[in-house]
Amino acid sequence: MNNGADILIVEDEPKIANLLADYVRAAGHSARVIGDGREVVDDVRRKTPDAILLDLMLPGKDGIEICREIRTFSQVPIIMVTARVEEVDRLLGLELGADDYICKPFSPREVVARLKAVLRRAQPGPAAATEQGPLRVDAERFEATLHGERLDLTAVEFRLLQTLASAPGRVFSRDQLMERIYPDHRVVGDRTVDSHVKNLRRKLAALDPELDLIQSVYGVGYRFELPE
Ligand code: CA
């Protein structure tokens, strides 16, 4: 799952940027390059890369400021790239929230290895908890709460909620939901999914009748949607 990640390279020196992009692509990822520090934060907001290689010295806005701004809204892995080893100590002291540091000149192997490490750490494992507005789904504890109140769900209802809430706005077909809620690929009818959804909705409504988190999409399936 480390392959095919979308890597943003922030580097103003075209030679180094191209070199990094080559390494990243050779490792099976896609690479984009931005050379102007002012464009980075907006790009990260809009395109949500999977990891960022961030040069320290940039025109417009430096890597320190960029890292700080990104950390106000995103936990995307950031690897800071600096020209001087001594600089790393200072950067560590600033507690920027960067995940790792690479010094120039770097070897392709080093860049790829560091990238692989941060991507692996960032993998949302099955233990991750999802928070969507008033809803919290904690897979590790197998527990879901709405407005802090515990929902009393069956295992199937829990997986159903977890699946839908993992991708707000995405419409899941009944087949897709069945695949996810029955890991043993048990064969059940479409109506089974509908009745689980019905029960899940009833339990959600018991805690908040106004909230309509799970919507049916006629002829297709269901989607999770937070109110505006
Ligand atoms: Ca630079």
What pLDDT is stored for residue 186 in this prediction?
62
For the sheet containing 6-10, what is the strand order? 30-34, 6-10, 51-55, 78-82, 100-103
Q: Which of 125, 115, 121, 123 is nearest to 28 (CA)?
A: 115
Residue 6 CA to residue 34 CA, distance in Å, equals: 13
Q: Does residue 1 fall inside a structural domain?
A: no
Q: How many domains does the chain have?
A: 2
Distance 150 CA to ligand 1 centre (A): 50
Q: Are residues 20 and 96 in the same domain?
A: yes
**What CATH number does the domain containing 159 carry?**
1.10.10.10
pLDDT digits 0-9 by tens, 172-197:
888 888 877 876 656 666 678 899 99
Residue 152's CB: how many other CB atoms inside 10 A?
A: 9
Which range is least confidently modeled, 2-6, 137-141, 166-170?
2-6
Q: Are residues 80 and 161 in the same domain?
A: no
Q: Which of 65, 9, 10 is nearest to 36 (CA)?
A: 10
Q: Are residues 74 and 173 in the same domain?
A: no
Distance 83 CA to ligand 1 centre (A): 8
Q: Does residue 91 fall inside a structural domain?
A: yes
Distance 57 CA to ligand 1 centre (A): 4
Distance 72 CA to ligand 1 centre (A): 23
Three-state SS letters, 47-114: HCCCEEEEECCCCCCCHHHHHHHHHCCCCCCEEEEECCHHHHHHHHHHCCCCCEEEECCCCHHHHHHH
Q: Does residue 109 fall inside a structural domain?
A: yes
For the sheet containing 171-173, what is the strand order? 171-173, 221-224, 214-217
What pLDDT is stored for residue 203 in this prediction?
96
* Region of 30 on the Ramachandran plot (φ > 0 left; ψ -120 to 50 alpha; else beta): beta
Distance 70 CA to ligand 1 centre (A): 18
Distance 172 CA to ligand 1 centre (A): 44
pLDDT digits 0-9 by tens, 101-143:
888 888 888 888 889 888 887 765 555 678 899 999 988 778 9
* Cβ(36)–Cβ(150) below 8 Å: no
Q: Does residue 99 fall inside a structural domain?
A: yes
Six-digit token string for 6: 């979308």
Distance 117 CA to ligand 1 centre (A): 24
Strands 78-82 and 51-55: parallel
pLDDT over threshold 90, residue 11: yes
Distance 62 CA to ligand 1 centre (A): 9
pTM: 0.56
What mean pLDDT value characterizes the chain?
Answer: 87
Distance 12 CA to ligand 1 centre (A): 5
pLDDT digits 0-9 by tens, 48-106:
899 999 999 999 999 999 999 998 888 889 999 988 777 877 777 777 888 888 888 88
Q: Are residues 74 and 162 in the same domain?
A: no
Residue bearing tokens 């709405």: 146
